[in-house]
Structure 1
Amino acid sequence: MDQNRSPLIVYANFFSDVAVSFTAHDVLTEWAGQAPRKIWLLQPGDALVTPVAPSGAFRRYACELLGVPSESLKVMTSPPTTGLSMAEALHQAGLMGSLRGLVTARPGAELLPVVLDASTADLARRLGVAVAAYGPGGPSGSAVDAVYRFNTKSGFRALAAELGIRMPEGRVCEGPAVEATAAAMLRQYERVVVKPDRSAGGHGLYFLSRAETVPALLRNRLTGTWVVEERLDVVRPVSIQMHLDASGLRVVFSGEMRVQHGSYTGYVSPLSESGGTVTAELEQWGVALGHHLARSGYAGPYGVDAILAADGRLYATESNVRRTATTTAQFMASRLARAAGLDAPAWLLGRRRTRAPHGFKDAVRLLGRAGLSWASDPAGRAGGVVLYGDAPADGRSWRYAVLGSTRTAVVETEEALVAVMEFEDPLPQW
């Protein structure tokens, strides 16, 4: 634990208009279900402001693994409101007084949001609280603008062209022109993917080929900005995560994504090299993006997603100027491993369905009986499974992390986990 850092108010603002539009309320609600896992970021005296509260069982489990007294953490729940940012929902629910109380009780506290959107920057100013990674003056308007711009497909595509970052061939167009643009692209390429400009996690993608009929939805019924892009044959989807602050740029981690039908389902780090050039090129792109973000005044986490294509070359697909599904997991893995004397852990994330439903305590017992729970021994060996997220509503759609000393070790542990949890779907080949 960092005894010298300021107290944190972790602000799980999944209800934000940065990654997707507020009109995608169902998607935002689904993502908000991941908010309880932000508890892995907390130290004694910190607070979590969340649209979904962690269950008592998950909170006790996480705190026990972290060595943090559960009662030393404050959790405040902010009920979401359709069409509103989290900050606006807090105000509408009459919770601003309670939030000010959290700030007052933590002198020098910093606000750590999932994403620096306009409503969060305004909320921090009204509360008189610093945003983590920014000085007393807070984030500038240009920093917030950069967040909005580079969490769009078109914004990153334009910048990539300036910075010499390779991307698949593509065109930006408005909704009514999508069908014609896709038809023109399909005359040149065998397959294309149609992406909403503001989208994450595979939301709203359409995959088309010459042999298929264009879906009726694409026929002059779409609104907003879209990108139509050549769909390449993918060998591996990969990413790099970076951090930018007053001390400069640094690589936090890189790894390989699990993707099904365009949607993210898991991750493994570190990245297994192919030809020894993938990580180097990812870092080059991450540094180039970081220097541009620094000029805008942005500070905090960001990353670049990419694919290694069948032609042997790497192509960037998007940037994420925010915390992503992997940043909290990596922090958790490093935190647990460091306490166990493991300086550079390998780790993976999975999301899978069990044949039968389980409660959280039942799942913990299953892992314990099988000897798969995260643990370390006096010899410095450490590894095992962490139930990274809270119990799913259906008792079957579990999120988990596996930590270990090597990539091979975590993959082998996951194979054992399949039998213990009785997952329905087979493991992908890494």
Structure 2
Amino acid sequence: MRLLIGNSTDIDLVGEFEKAGAAWWAQRLVWFAREGDVLVLPALPEDDYVDYVTGVLGVDRSSLRLLVPPPGADGAARLTADRLADPSFLADLDAALAGRTVEQVLATWPAAPVVALARRIGAADLLPGQAFVSQGGGALVNSKAVFRAVAAGAGVPIPQGAVCANPAAAEQEIWDLLAEDRAVIIKHEFYSGGVGNHILSRGEGVQPLGAPRVSIMPDRPAVAKFIAAEWDRYTSGGRHRLVVEEYFPGSRAVFSELLITDGGIQFGTDGEMFYVPIANAQAIPAPDQPADRMAAVTEHARRLCEPLRAMGYRGWLSADAIVTPGGAVYFTEYNGRITGSTHLHEVLGRRVVGPDFARDRVLFERVGWRAPSFREAVDAVEAAGLAYDPATRTGALFCSAYDPDAGSVWYCAVAPDMDAIRVLEERLASLFPQQPS
């Protein structure tokens, strides 16, 4: 059996950010379950969701143990260090593991408290890269600032820009780009999904993709005023650095995700992200990018993985890039963790659709499909004949738990190509017409 730990983020890096949705996001861990596994989650998922996932996977739900530590000082949203060290939780974990052999420890985020837990149960060697992670390595493989240093050193193309540790440096770098009539994007070092980004432009007409908003900066005093007002927000009160880089309007976002192991670097998948203005969908594999371009993206991603592997990181790494309207490719960040794409290609793709799914199928995840409840969403899709069918290898799978705050669930549409995906999405949208445009 395996011990799976749903620590969806690191409180020391993101603070209050992502707290509200952390427990919901962590429930994707259920997709990784196999017979007999023990899962540690910040909160119990609803029964309908667990029944659905185990039913799709053909896993005996009764063989699984789901453990939830008592709330810690930070509450119940995230699996923080104090929760994973809680005596009552450790007693429950010991009971769940009694007489059984742990074959692997799998955590969604490479965090030191997970290493401490693995050591506590005598399974540290079963957590890949535990020595690196125990000394704060998770921050290095999820930092947009460290990424730029690693990419530049490895010869991977990145947009013009800089990592700024103080407001004066940020003001100078931003104005240097704006003065050449280039748009700018600033980024929080650790936030994800584009919500920690902000686009700056000297004139109107730049559409925000990959950031929630655009601000007009007509001159350098406007930049200085903006930085003075927003520095704390985008650096978490100065605890982190600000990334400043050129923004290319109209670009498309692609990625390549690879697995770093003791034995080498293995290709997982490639894909494309879609934004309106922040991430709201993804397609795996990238549906209409030239094959040679995506091969080059993956080759650069491998070059990013090599120094991280030498440092001792083990696990998934997603390398994100943009393709400009002119066809140039620039890398923008990496994410060293189980990402929002990993369960799509490794579980829904390879375990459900088939090991070679990428040859003749596209997986298209849609964020925030509104529905009254998880059960009603499943029932409506099944009644409409749109549920995933193993015989045809097409249809809709629900790839997330129900988000009560947003009143939505995320689905993964499976079809031979993007034209068929669009038809399936139109039919899904008609089931609950209150979908946003």
Check whether TM > 0.5: yes
- TM-superposed deviation, 1:146: 4.4
Distance 1:53 1:340, change over 3 A: farther
- Say if 1:286 and 1:146 are closer, same or farther in 2 by CA, change over 3 A: farther
Unaligned runs of 5+ in 2: 204-215, 233-237
For 1:80 and 1:409, the matched residues in 2 are separated by: 47
**Is 1:412 the counterpart of 2:423 in the alignment?**
yes
What secondary structure, in the 3-state scheme, does the structure 1 residue paired with 2:175 have? helix
Structure 2 residue aligned with 1:103, among 84, 97, 103? Answer: 97
CA distance in 2 between partners of 1:422 and 1:104 (Å): 50
Give the match for residue 207 of structure 2: none
Q: 2: CA distance between counterparts of 1:96 and 1:346?
A: 42
Residue of structure 1 in register with 2:206 after alignment: none
What residue is the counterpart of 1:114 in the other structure? 108
Question: Residue type of the partner of 1:351?
Answer: V
Shift of 1:107: 0.9
Deviations 1:198-217 (A, max 9, x none): 22211321211114244856
Question: 1:75 corresponds to which residue?
Answer: 66
Amino acid at match of 2:247: R
Q: Do the aligned partners of 1:307 and 1:315 also contact (CA within 8 Å) in 2?
A: yes
1:80, CA displacement in angstroms?
5.4
Change (3 A) 1:12 1:97: same
CA distance in 2, matches of 1:225, 1:255: 28
Structure 1: 5+ residue stretches without partners: 1-6
Report the counterpart of residue 184 of structure 2 in structure 1: 192
Q: Do 2:6 and 2:79's aligned partners in 1 also have CA atoms closer than 8 Å?
A: no
For residues 113-141 of structure 1, what are the alpha-carbon distances to aligned partners after superposition, in whole Å with 9 as ceiling and x for unaligned? 0111222222212221146563xxx6223
Q: Take 1:73 and 1:327, find their aligned partners in 2: how far apart are those partners?
A: 21
Conserved 8 A contact 1:103-1:129: no
Deviations 1:212-257 (A, max 9, x none): 2448562164213111111112331010110121332111110110
CA distance in 1, matches of 2:202, 2:379: 51
Q: Distance in 1 between matches of 2:406 and 2:21?
A: 15
Q: How many residues align?
A: 408
CA contact (8 A) 2:110 2:137 kept: no
Contact 1:306 1:317 in 2 (8 A): yes
TM-score, normalised via structure 2 length: 0.85
2:320 and 2:352 map into 1 onto residues whose CA distance is 26
Q: Which of 226, 239, 244 is the equivalent residue of 2:242?
A: 226
- For residues 110-189 of structure 1, the aligned pairs below 5 Å read 110-130=104-124, 134=128, 139-141=130-132, 145-177=136-168, 178-189=170-181
Match of 1:245 in 2: 261
TM-align CA RMSD:
2.7
The percentage of aligned residue pairs carrying the same residue is 24
Q: What corresponds to 1:402 in structure 2? A: 413
CA distance in 1, matches of 2:381, 2:56: 14
Give, in whole Å, the separation in 2 of the partners of 1:89 and 1:254.
Answer: 35
Q: Deviations over 1:321-345 (max 9, x none)?
A: 1111110122231211139999864
Shift in Å at residue 375 of structure 1?
1.3
List per-residue Cα deviations over 1:145-168 (Å, max 9, x = no partner).
543223111211111111111111
Alignment of 1:303-318 (within 5 A): 303-318=318-333
Measure, in 2, the Cα distance between the counterparts of 1:146 and 1:158.
15
Aligned counterparts of 1:176 and 1:249: Cα–Cα separation in 2: 38
1:9-408 correspondence runs (5 A): 9-17=3-11, 21-23=13-15, 25-78=16-69, 79=71, 81-82=73-74, 86-92=80-86, 94-130=88-124, 134=128, 139-141=130-132, 145-177=136-168, 178-211=170-203, 212-213=216-217, 214=222, 218-219=227-228, 221-222=231-232, 223=238, 224-261=240-277, 263-333=278-348, 334-338=350-354, 345-354=361-370, 357-377=371-391, 381-394=392-405, 396-408=407-419
Query: Which residue in 1 is equivalent to 2:213?
Result: none
CA-CA distance at 1:98 after TM superposition: 1.7
Aligned to 1:3: none
Shift of 1:410: 3.1
- 2:54 counterpart SS class: helix
Amino acid aligned to 1:386? L
Report the TM-score, using the length of structure 1 for normalisation.
Answer: 0.87
Separation in structure 2 between the aligned mates of residue 340 and residue 307 of structure 1, nearest angstrom? 26
1:2-26: per-residue Cα shift (whole Å, max 9, x none)?
xxxxx22110002414xx7242x24
